[in-house]
A and B are shown apart, each in its own frame.
Chain A
Amino acid sequence: MHDRPPLLELTDSGLYCPAGDFHVDPWRRVPRAVITHGHGDHARPGMGHYWTQRDGVPILRKRLGRYIPLDGVGYGEPMRFGDVTVSLHSAGHILGSAQVRIEHEGAVWVVSGDFKRDADPTCAPFEVVPCDTFITEATFAFPVYRWPDTAEVAREVHAWWRACAEAGRPALLFCYALGKAQRLLAELMACTDQEVLLHGAMVDLVRIYRDAGVAMLPTRAVSEIGRSADFAGALIMAPPSASGSKWMRRFKGASTGFASGWMQIRGNRRRRGYDRGFVLSDHADWPSLVRTVEDCGARRVLATHGNTDVLVQYLRERGIEAAPLKTPYGDEDVEDALAEDAR
């Protein structure tokens, strides 16, 4: 099968399917873009036409413009691009996130986009899609990344919130505005029914999730509350970019936390000076990355987005053909991944 031209190739604009004449998550302006999900490094402005999973439509409209030419597609619904059949399958990353399945003359390629295997009440679970070539993300491709039970992490967040309340302090939790914030709000329902305060960057996104039927704790925008209000005992969620900003000053004596997979490493948290780190990621951990490659039965794996070298060498040693694929998704360094979605 390798004699045939590849179904996807890397161009200056992104992953391109010559047989179907479309791109997946392109980073330069192209006529036709199939988008895996709404994070800023995957969904960029200026494309001629967009396709994305139906639940992701309001997210793309919110981020890229209300009137962009955009088709919402259900999971599993086949689309035709010339001779090529394309369908979207749940990636379990955030609301409306999808893997892109591309079939042409009997060959099947799957682009994972960002994905996770852990349960998440805010989005559909990951679907295993059998394929010949699997393009996988590799953000957390080190064996030291193994996610703890999400319910346990939610209990830790709640215990921290309560301890702050008892000490008369605000609890300021930094997390990505799209995906992580909503997942926390949903997971925390097992612990409390108290209201959570939101940074302005999160308000519309939380509403989009509510409209999609995701149950979450009640929320209110910080901006609706007077500047001189007392925030003692409150839990406030904000994107990491708000850390150290003027906006933060109103939360006097706040204890700060950060919810991210990167918090698995103590040095990452200490370097940023957060009081608490909560290990919660919307990406696949190491066991999930390896298991997913096995599950989808791919003969060939292309790794992108993160620590590709490690995953590639590991898979090769296990007899799987693998190679890195250089894309600007997330970039390989922590800073960019942390900044992801902070805009």
Chain B
Amino acid sequence: MRAFVELFERLDATTSTNGKVEALADYFRTADAADAGWAVFFLSGRRLKRLIGAAELRQWIRARTGLPEWLFEESYGHVGDLAETAALLLAGEDDGELEIGLAALVEGRLLPLRGRDADLRREAIMTLWSTLPARQLFLFNKVITGALRVGVSQRLLVRGLAQASGIDEKVLAHRLMGTWEPDADFYARLVGEDDGDADLSRPYPFFLASPLEGPPDALGPVSDWIAEWKWDGIRAQLVRREGRCFVWSRGEELMLGRFPEIEAAATALPDGTVIDGEILAWADDGPLDFSLLQTRIGRKKPGPTTLARAPVTLMAYDLLEDGGEDIRQQALATRRARLAAHVAATPGLRLSDTVEAGDWETLAQAREAARGRGTEGLMLKRAASPYQLGRRRGDWWKWKVAPQTLNAILLCAQPGHGRRANLFTDYTFAVWDDDTLVPIAKAYSGLDNAEIDELDRWIRKHTRERFGPVRSVEPQQVFELAFEGIHPSPRHRSGVAVRFPRIARWRRDLGPADADRLDDLRKLIDA
């Protein structure tokens, strides 16, 4: 645990990418293989599931420190991180001296607690709080509650591992995909040369597009590019190997059983096929509203009513593996041709059509039809490009149509988390319904740091009421919110829900009377 804590402190003490990679490489060069396996597990954002809940942790900390509930919650609101709050509150106690490796801690002391009754788990965690050095408590609390976000992206982790092991970054990234918990040989396999036993279900790292900010003609001749509609669904990889099929989300979650239509369609695919695409709710010749797809996301086993109301399809747009061969280095145009053949032979899948245009201007005109077709704009993909790892700029661009906007009044604010702890950064906005304000959207992003600081000061000085961490403020500040579509919603008090709301501008030129009215927004639904 000490070495892992030291790694964390080094990562935390630098904002330089190279500094972080170096710290990771140093750690992996010297760490015990079992510890290193768990370090990879936690640093890649994985968590120990079904171990300890956040509610339990809060209860135990309160019991331990004797703080009243409101004071604990105020403190948590101030710090913005549960594991850190707990560590700071525990820091007043005597320092423990337990020396224990990360693997021994996880495998010997934590995993055996799974499924045990609350008293036993509580006793075990209380003991560890007393016996671990105070300096290690923050990371320990992170490990038991999950969500270890320490400013290390998957890509940095892979670079550090590559530097320490000499194994190619792409190979490492692929080996890290999917769900796993490290066992004794995990780390040796991860950094080992031989990769004969590729996991049957393992997907490939997703390639992500970047938003196109300038005009598209900077990209060169339009003939170098393949344009497709930008679908608004769930990004997914369909893996077909050895008679089985696996559906992965971009968050590397295995979505088995949730989309039986896609699994059924996949049985027609030959073994050794991996398709990249978008899961969409689809009826007749077009996508259904995203809110219908949403009814499918949470259902692990959708019933017949749900299936009938929101049938899904996979809109296929790339082929990563064909005949058991990794073809990601082939040109997109080649991969698409091979994909088209598979989709044609597989009822239930759809091929994402290309949008043809002789020049950028024609393409820009075609893009205007995007919203009418239930899409968000166009994707521009370089025809000669390989399928890359993660978000690399240059070959895949998302060229969205301009968002819709509305003007709304800041109604409430609450502090953010992590980097935004004890800054008011989570805002609730309202519009007029006759002469009352109804909440319309929450938004977290869109302001720059200087604006966030200024608004934070304003909020503190114009607070009306407090409800725990939430403050209501005087309804004065107007913001232009951008969003992607608006839908009726019985779950919202306003009766409407906007998708992806974010702040476009702080409209200091407008007063509260200039904000939009709910009636006007309702009209947008029909449009």
Name A residues whose Cβ lies closer than 8 Å to a Cβ of B: 142-146, 255, 264-268, 270-271, 273, 275-276, 287, 307, 309-310, 313-314, 317, 331-336
Contact = CB atoms under 8 A, between A and B. Distances in A.
A314 B419 contact: no
Given A146-B88, A336-B457, A310 B420 contact: no
Interface string B48-70: 00000000000000000101101
Contacts of A332: 460
A287 B91 CA distance: 12
A335 B418 contact: no
B420 A266 contact: no
Contacts of B428: none
Contacts of A307: 78
Interface in B204-236: none
A226 B423 CA distance: 40
Interface size class of B (residues with CB under 8 A): 35 or more
Contacts of B453: 335
B84 A265 contact: yes
B426 to A, nearest CB: 14
A267 B422 contact: yes
Given A270-B418, A271-B423, A142 B74 contact: yes
Interface string B400-426: 000000000000000001111111000
Nearest to B415: A267
B63 to A, nearest CB: 15
Contact of A267 (B15, B68, B417): B417
Contacts of B85: 144
B452 to A, nearest CB: 9
Contacts of A145: 88
Interface in B1-46: 12-15
B92 interface: yes
A144 B78 contact: yes
Interface of B: 12-15, 65, 67-68, 70-71, 74-75, 78-81, 84-85, 88-89, 91-92, 138, 151, 417-423, 453, 456-457, 460, 466
Given A267-B81, A313-B70, A144 B75 contact: yes
Contacts of B138: 266
Given A143-B89, A333-B457, A335-B453, A275 B84 contact: no
B417 A146 contact: no
A286 to B, nearest CB: 9
A267 B151 CA distance: 12
Given A267-B418, A271-B423, A273-B15, A144 B456 contact: no
A81 B181 CA distance: 74
A335 B452 CA distance: 11
Nearest to B418: A267
Nearest to B449: A271
Given A265-B84, A266-B81, A313-B70, A142 B75 contact: yes
A267 B421 contact: yes
Contact of B71 (A267, A310, A333): A310
Contacts of A275: 13-15
A267 B13 contact: no
B226 to A, nearest CB: 40
Contact of A265 (B70, B422, B460): B422
B68 A142 contact: no
B92 A267 contact: no
Contacts of A255: 14
Contacts of A273: 15
A120 B14 CA distance: 30
Nearest to A167: B19
Contact of A271 (B84, B91, B420): B420
Nearest to A273: B15
Given A142-B75, A146-B88, A268 B422 contact: yes
13 contacts: A142-B78, A145-B88, A146-B92, A265-B78, A265-B79, A267-B80, A267-B421, A267-B422, A271-B423, A273-B15, A275-B13, A287-B92, A309-B466
A270 B84 CA distance: 14
A310 B70 CA distance: 9
B82 to A, nearest CB: 12
A335 B417 CA distance: 17
Contact of A268 (B421, B457, B466): B421
Nearest to B87: A144
A333 B456 contact: yes
Contacts of B419: 267, 270-271
B213 to A, nearest CB: 24
A305 to B, nearest CB: 14
Given A142-B74, A271-B423, 15 more contacts: A142-B75, A143-B67, A143-B89, A144-B79, A144-B85, A255-B14, A266-B84, A267-B80, A271-B419, A275-B14, A275-B15, A310-B71, A334-B423, A335-B453, A335-B456
A332 B458 CA distance: 12
B19 to A, nearest CB: 9
Contacts of B65: 143
Contacts of A270: 151, 418-419
B86 to A, nearest CB: 10
A146 B70 CA distance: 19
A334 B422 contact: yes
Contacts of B15: 273, 275
Contacts of A317: 68
Contacts of B422: 265, 267-268, 334
Nearest to A262: B422
Nearest to B424: A333
A335 B450 CA distance: 11
B54 to A, nearest CB: 17
B79 A267 contact: yes
A309 B91 CA distance: 24
B421 A264 contact: no
